[in-house]
Structure 1
Amino acid sequence: MTQSARFSVRPSLVRRIALASIIANVGIVVTGGAVRLTASGLGCPTWPRCTDESYVSTAEMGIHGAIEFGNRLLTFAVGAVALAALVAVLLHRPRRRSLVLLALAVLAGIAVQAIIGGITVHTDLHPMIVGIHFVGSMALLLLTYALWRRIGESDGPKVRTVPAPLHALVWITTAVSAAVIMVGTLVTGSGPHAGDADAERNGLDPATISQLHADLVFLLIGLSVALWLALKAVGAPPRAVRAAVVLLVVELAQGVVGFVQYLTDLPVLLVGLHMLGSCLVWLATLAVLWSTRERPPVGAATTPPADPGDPAERADRELAPAR
């Protein structure tokens, strides 16, 4: 047995570590929300130190300091999981450049997020920086999800498994899902849970921006229903239909939480649950995107599905019985 083979990591282990990275990044979004919802955003008033004299919180800083410092410590845990994923893909045989690049991107993204977190503290929780910090977390979820899915794929070219118009609908749905998340950060920036009593708000009218957010949510749900029905109509792969159903269910649950929290003056528990829901909606959206394409083994002959309305395809179907 060669030295490289002796230290090779099984694909199943690499995939489990990548899944742990997804979970860790969802977890830090939720705990970051807890920091804001408990008004602990400036529990550690500076960065990278917690105070001018100490890297850790002190007893004088109370519960807010402990909560903020605890969230900072979780960044190291998330980074450790990402580092483990990088080591795993480096030890995987054969080593795959695509996996190494994705794992490196995740690790670099976590470092960037830590810096943005520091800027957030130095700008006294400016709502735009807080929003960028949250969107950055969604970008990290995209990278970690891509790594997790790529481990089970070949390095062959991507091939869509649904007709081109339907694949375009998938991309439109993905774009609207991203827009819902970004507008949601503006809603948060106009609301009462700023992370600190003296933190600045973005100045937008909460009712107006919330209505825009709700309109986008209705659009997303409508697109998701259309996507599910279209996937069934064209006989798309079962995994694509299932992914669309899951997306729709998660969206509806998230919508219910969103409306209830709005009508009940944004209770902390529901706002935290809504943040978790945002991660789940985004991951469900990515699952639909990935379910409508595949990477056949390198060298395998592939033919993308023909569009139902293509004249040549219709002629082939009509002539088929006579051949």
Structure 2
Amino acid sequence: MPNTPAPTSAARAAEPAAGPATSRLVRSLAVATLVANIGIVVTGGAVRLTASGLGCPEWPLCTADSLVATPEMGIHGVIEFGNRLLTFVLTAIAFGMLASVWKGRSARPDLMRLSVAALAGIPAQAFIGGITVWTGLNPWVVGLHFIVSMIIIAVAVVLVNRAWLSPGQLAERHEPLAGRTLRPVVWAIAVLSAITVVLGVIVTGAGPHAGDHGAARNNLDPDLMTRIHVVPVYLLVFTLIVALYLVYRRTVDVRFKRSLLLFTAVVLAQAVIGYAQHFLALPIALVALHMLGASLMTAAAAQVFYTGFSRKVPEQSPKA
């Protein structure tokens, strides 16, 4: 049996390195960053939906004399203060993420920048949260609070993707997975998703769930704003149909196809929940699900955009 020559060092260097380039801790903290930021949106929604938005009427203290909720404040104080405590969990994860990539910051400046961005979102949200309390739950400030959370979620999606890159994927540089025909469609998906979320925030500001029984509303007609809100939703569904047609008509990388299918599933579920909550007079459970859906839709849209345009995409897979 002939001897097989050992691969040369040049040949070994040319082979993509197997396995992710980052440690399991980095990857776990990246996922935790995404999950925690989605989770705090849901708990923040619970504060609003239970009319506990002013359960702690002061900020940064809960009351003028106490950092924590007092028994006299009842369940609303417990709910609001509990949500504030979750910020410390989010902060611990963000600092842990930053510490885990610090040593390799020269080799992976991308992870360092994304970690700093995720961490910077926390004091920004705390500042907006303070203004929210000081203004008695002004609906426009509450809406800004939500939109900033969506931006942080999008950053976390990119962080997760970059944390999973293998050494081979870090070294290579390929064309974006979305071809020239698909790229305008991907841009349309991103823009329409953003418009949908922003209009959804405005609809919420016109609706009955103000976060406190005495909180102001934005004085817009809820029914009219809902009708305006569904316009970009219809356009988004149409754009998805076009995208799916192009994906299945052409040879497209399976990674992009998977992200598009995931986004489609989330959008359809979100549309069903949205219609149901509207015609059932906005029950709290469905509104909470719709808020979770908005977060998941934002994450899925960010994944579509990332896989469509990034030249470095994790999970090397064969072409579809």
TM-score range, shorter chain: 0.7 to 0.9
Query: Which residue of the other structure, out of 11, 20, 43, is the alignment partner of 2:32?
Result: 20
Which one-letter code corresponds to 2:29 in the other structure? I
Which one-letter code corresponds to 1:167 in the other structure? R
The count of aligned residue pairs is: 289
2:304 matched residue in structure 1:
288
2:255 matched residue in structure 1:
239
2:6 matched residue in structure 1:
none
- Give 1:294 shift: 4.0
1:197 matched residue in structure 2:
213
The answer as to whether partners of 1:126 and 1:199 remain within 8 angstroms in 2 is yes
2:201 counterpart of 1:185: yes
TM-score normalised by length of structure 1:
0.86
Percent identity of equivalent pairs: 44
The answer as to whether partners of 2:105 and 2:112 remain within 8 angstroms in 1 is no
TM-superposition CA deviations, 1:81-105 (whole Å, max 9, x none): 1111111111347641121111011
1:78 matched residue in structure 2:
90
2:226 matched residue in structure 1:
210
3-state secondary structure, aligned to 1:258: helix
The answer as to whether partners of 1:110 and 1:140 remain within 8 angstroms in 2 is no
1:267 matched residue in structure 2:
283
Query: Which residue of the other structure, out of 37, 44, 48, is the alignment partner of 2:49?
Result: 37
Task: After superposing the two structures, state which structure 1 stretch, 170-179 or 144-153, moved more.
Answer: 144-153
* 1:121/1:93 CA distance change after superposition, 3 Å: closer
Structure-1 separation of matches of 2:174 and 2:188: 19
Equivalent residues in 2 for 1:54-93 (5 A)?
54-92=66-104
1:170 matched residue in structure 2:
186
Unaligned residue ranges in structure 2 (runs of 5+): 1-20, 314-320
1:135 matched residue in structure 2:
147
Which one-letter code corresponds to 1:103 in the other structure? S
Aligned residues: CA RMSD:
1.7
Structure-2 separation of matches of 1:184 and 1:195: 16
Structure-2 separation of matches of 1:258 and 1:294: 31
Equivalent residues in 2 for 1:302-317 (5 A)?
none
Which one-letter code corresponds to 1:281 in the other structure? M
Structure-2 separation of matches of 1:158 and 1:194: 48
Task: After superposing the two structures, state which structure 1 stretch, 281-290 or 132-141, moved more.
Answer: 281-290
- Give 1:156 shift: 6.6
3-state secondary structure, aligned to 2:182: helix
Task: After superposing the two structures, state which structure 1 stretch, 133-142 or 240-249, moved more.
Answer: 240-249
Structure-1 separation of matches of 2:310 and 2:29: 22
Unaligned residue ranges in structure 1 (runs of 5+): 1-8, 298-323
- Give 1:13 shift: 2.2
The answer as to whether partners of 1:10 and 1:92 remain within 8 angstroms in 2 is no
The answer as to whether partners of 1:42 and 1:196 remain within 8 angstroms in 2 is yes
